[in-house]
Structure 1
Amino acid sequence: MRVFLQQPPGGTEPARYLQLTLQPDLFGGWELLRESGQIGGRAKLHRQLFPDVGQAQAAFEKARDTELKRGYQITYTSGVPPR
């Protein structure tokens, strides 16, 4: 699953983005990747590991919902229905 969120630019600052990716790892677990930064600038990548898909999906949905409350807007989804 993947979702790309973007926050509209404010004033002179460029737009910010957040990409959440949920994927299986090589050891039977799941990982949640969070890539964030300014469009055209450096990005940060955080990786969180989970033993099963249920916990990973709950973390994915919580992260997505938190960012939607902060003003981000979904611009692209893959493998997950848009909210």
Structure 2
Amino acid sequence: MQQQSSGNVILQHLMSAGDLYASETEVLGATIRQIAMSQGQVTNKAIILHLIKQLDNTSDVVQQDILRHTLELVVGRTPDDLHI
């Protein structure tokens, strides 16, 4: 269950940083909403895969940087999955 809620934990962490992570917060929030609407269940794995797909599908260098940094933040705050 912790894995499902850590997307929101990461989002709250980014939001508490104020404008420092404004773009990343926006991207992560949109990602969580899209996953929730399409899959119903938001997991770190789903967030990571979604961000990787977005990163692969954009050619905008600025957007790639934002997506890459968001991905780094999510992976850095994701606990190891002990139950594979």
TM-score over 0.5 for the alignment?
A: no
Give the structure with the higher percent strand: 1
Q: TM-score, normalised by structure 1?
A: 0.29
Give the structure with the higher percent helix: 2
Q: TM-score, normalised by structure 2?
A: 0.28
Q: Which of the two has higher C-alpha Rg?
A: 1
